[in-house]
Structure formats: C-alpha cells, structure tokens
Amino acid sequence: MEQPSRPSRRPLGSLVLIAAVLGGSAAAFAYTGGWLSPERLSRERVVASLGPPGGPAPGHRRNHTKGICFTGSFEANGAGAALSRAPMLAAGSYPVIGRFNLASSVLAQPDGAARVRGLSLSITGPDGSEWRTGMLSAPVFPVSGVDAFYALQMAVRSKEPGAMQAFAAAHPEIAGFGGWAGSAPWTGSYAEESYNALNAFIFTDAEGRGHAVRWSVRPEAVPVPVPKEQIAAKPPDFLGDEIKARLAARPVRWRMTVTEAGPGDPVADPSKAWPEGRRTLEVGTLTVQAIQEEADGPCRDINYDPTVLPPGMRPSADPFPAARSSAYALSYERRAAEAAAYPRTAPGGRP
Amino acid sequence: MTAARFSPVQRLLHWLMAACILAMLFIGVGMVSTISPRYLALVSIHKPLGIAILLLALLRLGLRLRRGAPPLPAGLPAAMKLAAHLSHVALYGLMIAMPLLGWAMLSAEGYPIVLWQGLRLPPILPQDIGAYALLRQAHGLLGYAFFAVILAHLGAALFHALVRRDGVFAAMAPVAGRAEE
C-alpha cells in the first residue's frame, strides 16, 4: 500500500461512532418497515381482518374466495377513445380472461347467501398492455376510506352486541350501501347483474386531458327478481351451474359504460354515487364465451389488481385502488406459497 | 503497478449506486408495509430504479474485472482480507440478482412489468405461480440480507477510515483524503 497505516491511538470514540451509525441505520430501516409502529394499519392486518373464523382457505384468494373462470372478448365501439387513449378502447375486439365471484372470504359460501357478487376482468390490448378491473354488483362501496373498511371487518366479526350499530353511527356513509343491500332485488344469475368499478380512475385522452371516471357493465339479459327466500333455498353452486347452462345456449353479454365525474363530484369516495345525468358513454360490449372451473381455469393465477392499467388510465384520488393493490399482492403471495393445497384437477390443465 | 485508488469512474459508480441501492432497500421495505396511496408511488419508483441498478451493476462489474481494485494493505489480517473479498462478492451478486429476481418474480406472476407509462419489460419467465412463490420469497429474504451486508460493508469502511486509517477507505472516498495530499 502506498501510504503507511496510522492506526488511531484512541479508537473508543470512533468505535462508538461506528456503532451509532450502524444502529441508527438499522433503526431507520425497521421504522420504514413498520416494525416500530405496530399500530399502523398494515396490509397484513387488513388481509387478516378478512379471514373467516376458521382461517383462510389455503391456496385461494383471501377475499372473493369462491369463483369461476371465463374467457371471452371485449368489443370496443371506439366511443371510449374520446376519454382515454387506452388501446382497448379503440374500436376492435380484445381477449378477456375473467372471473365471476362472491364477495365473501368463505370458500364454501353457498351462492345464495352472498349479497354482493363480483366480476373481474383482464382485457389485453393489441400492444400487450392490460386493463384489469374487479367490479361489484353493489352500486356503491360500504365505506369511504381504508381505515373504515378495516373497522367494518372488525365490527362484522365482533361478538360485542351493538358493534355494527356503533360502526354505522361512526360511519354514516354505510347507509348508501345498506339501503341497496336491503331493498335491491336478488337475481338468479351472474348474467343478470350489473357490475360496477366503484373506484374512480383518471382517463387521459389523446390530447392529454384527464377525465375522472367510473365504469360499469350492464347486462343484456333482463334481470328477473327472485325472492330472497327462494335464492337461499337453491343449491350451493347454483350460480356457477346456471351460467354454464346459459352459455351452452348462447354467449352472454354486457354493455360497458363509462361515466365522467362532474365538477365537485366525490371522486375520492367510492361510498358516494355521482348524480344522475352525468356524461355516460357506452364504450363496448363484453361477451362471455366459455366457462372454466377455477382449479384449471386461466383466471386462477391472475391477480386482479385494479392498478394494472394500460396507458391512458391511472388511479385517481380514490384511496382504494392503492390499498387493494397492496392487499392483493399479499393475498397472491400467500396463496402462491400454498399452491400445493389447491391442486389442478386435470392433467395439463394449465391455461 | 496498481493504483492506490479506484478510478474516478469506479468511485462515481460506487457512490451513485450506494445512494440508489439504499433508496431501493428503504422503498422496498416501506412499500410492503403500507396500504396507503404511497404504495403505488413507491412501487412505481421501485421497478425502474431496480432496472437502473441492474444496468449500473453490470457496467461496474465490467470495470472491476478490467481494472481490478487497489490491493488491500499488506498488514491486513487474513481473516479481514477474506471477509472483504467475500462481502464484495456478495454485494456484486446481490446488486445483479435482486433486480433479476424482481423481474423474474413479476414475470412468473403474469403481472405486467411497467417501468413507466408505455414502457413495459417483456417477461423473462412463463407464468407459473409455483415459481412465483419461490422467487418472491427469495426477493424478500435477499433484500434483508442485502441490507445486512451493506451495514457490514459500512461498518468495515468506517473502521478502515477511523480506526485503522490504512488507506482502504481513501481508495473509494469521493475526494482524496489527507493521506494522499
């Protein structure tokens, strides 16, 4: 070495300094990782709050656990290009991998017991970009914020008398969802439901202008109200059986609409509907062509993360897409690690 | 004869990457802990920064293989020399492996790898949830290991600079220290 070493004669101070630097760095890392603030609402806590009493079903999604896959297409009529330059809103036909599901974390949930039904889509554009969305049959979300969502899970699962009443008093926005759940007719088919992306997103058009929007799909089939008691008496998998039988006769379709927020509409709050009469464009038709059991179906290993968006779409001030993305990533990580507990049933059953 | 210090380009790369990698590790551990809107912002930095680190690490490895490193002081105990050598192998390995694991993990998930609007990386593995599970676990565990190796590296650098004062720190210091003046 060119220069001789000149060791410190009093190294204690230096050693203390080194220990302080290393300790401080480790503490900053631990703080960032949330280990020093267990009261913070982590995704682990949110995902754990969803679990049914017996624990989650290994290898399955942590919520919307029971579902069935489908394949189909989205035929865009081109009208959506006025709002977004997303490639799958330009006129054309784009492949879809989707999933009908129940809004419940119970794998054995009887189809007739789930008040809210879900529809998830992955639409792939010609450039390979993807639009993933998870929609619900409810017209509004029960709560306006992520903390309230966690509190709702706690209240629903609480054994304390009056927990739900206390929750509703603290979160009056739940009245919108509650009103729908209590009065909207039940139907006997996934094909007779409307599904709503309750979260708002920002569409960017070809000129670079942003538009706050929510989208929905509305069924071509006419909804036939069925009394709740009749629905509850049906076999546990009747929705899956019904959609298979229906598809054997003909494809099942929905019209997709995109609604633009007006000035001052609550973009960040999915518990609030936007007023009637907002500019709504019909942007295309969703066609379901074939159903697959989830165990061997192409939807099985898809994480329907609502922040997987093509160019021309991005999240808005609505806090839920970020929270869902974070929680879904943990759900996916957990079920991936348990994949052996949910084997495929058909040899070579991979999509 | 080998120079007493790393070349200016090697030193620039070292300190630039130090900042990038530390930011990356804090973003990584922070993003998996949060459910707030910051999550999306952190993830959107994590991916392009990871690819930038991969490219810089490959460039740096090439320079290291071509130009080598200043020799360690003759009087350094053999155990410390071995530790220095092994920790540098670990650092290079992690700088290259971590971005590749992240890229491979998202590929196995079938998740689009968007670096920024309109720029997507192709998958480097077919969709396979079993492979995803292993890669995800490796990416997380090696991330913690990476931070631990960096703490050891930092501790050793400060030990050379403040206690041994043997020129090892000066070899990588951003500006020449008093020893060389």
> A259-268 pLDDT, tens per residue?
999 999 999 9
The CATH architecture annotation of domain A45-340 reads Beta Barrel (2.40)
Query: pTM of whole model > 0.90?
Result: yes
Burial class (CB in 10 A: 0-12, 13-18, 19+), B62: exposed
Q: How many helices (H) and strands (E) does chain B have?
A: 5, 2
> B89-111 pLDDT, tens per residue?
999 999 999 999 999 999 999 99
Determine the distance in angstroms separating the CA of A268 from the nearest CA of chain B, rounded to an integer. Answer: 12
The CA distance from B108 to A126, in Å, is 21
pLDDT of residue A348 exceeding 80: no
The CA distance from A143 to B28, in Å, is 29
Across the interface, of A42, A129, A305, the residue whose CB is closest to B120 is A129
Contact flag B35-A22 (C-beta cutoff 8 Å): no
pLDDT of residue B178 exceeding 70: no
pLDDT of residue B2 exceeding 60: no
SS (H, E, C) B81-142: HHHHHHHHHHHHHHHHHHHHHHHHHHHHHCCCEEEECCEEECCCCCCCHHHHHHHHHHHHHH
Which uninterrupted H or E stretch holds A274? Answer: none
Kindly list the residues from chain A whose CB atom is less than 8 angstroms away from the CB atom of residue B133.
Answer: 333, 336-337, 339
The CA distance from A339 to A73, in Å, is 28
Domain range annotation of chain A: 45-340
By CA distance, what is B108's nearest residue in A? A301
Encode A75-92: b = buried (16+ Cβ within 10 Å), e = exposed: bbbeebbbbbbbbbbbeb
C-alpha distances out from residue A215 to A93, A259, A274, A313, B179, Å? 18, 6, 12, 12, 67
Half-sphere exposure (Cβ direction) of A121: Cα atoms closer than 13 Å: 28
How high is the pLDDT of residue A349? 47
Determine the distance in angstroms separating the CA of B26 from the nearest CA of chain A, rounded to an integer. Answer: 6
> A278-315 pLDDT, tens per residue?
999 999 999 999 999 999 999 999 999 999 999 999 99
pLDDT band at A7 (very low <50, low <70, confident <90, very high): confident
Q: Which residue has the tokens 């930092």?
A: B154
pLDDT of residue A115 exceeding 70: yes
| 260-289 in chain A: CB under 8 A from chain B | none
Mark residue A169 as left, alpha or beta (left: phi above 0; alpha: psi -120 to 50; beta: remaining): alpha
Average pLDDT over residues A317-328: 98
Kindly list the residues from chain A whose CB atom is less than 8 angstroms away from the CB atom of residue B29.
Answer: 29, 32-33
Contact A204, A312 (CB under 8 A): yes
**How do strand A67-76 and strand A130-136 relate by DSSP bridges?**
unpaired
| 28-47 in chain A: CB under 8 A from chain B | 28-29, 32-34, 40-43, 46
Contact flag A301-B147 (C-beta cutoff 8 Å): no
Q: What angle do CA A271, A275, A279 make, to 5 degrees?
A: 115
> B78-90 pLDDT, tens per residue?
999 999 999 999 9
Which CATH number is associated with domain B8-176? 1.20.950.20
Contact flag B130-A33 (C-beta cutoff 8 Å): no
Kindly list the residues from chain A whose CB atom is less than 8 angstroms away from the CB atom of residue B155.
Answer: 18, 21-22
Amino acid identity at B19: A
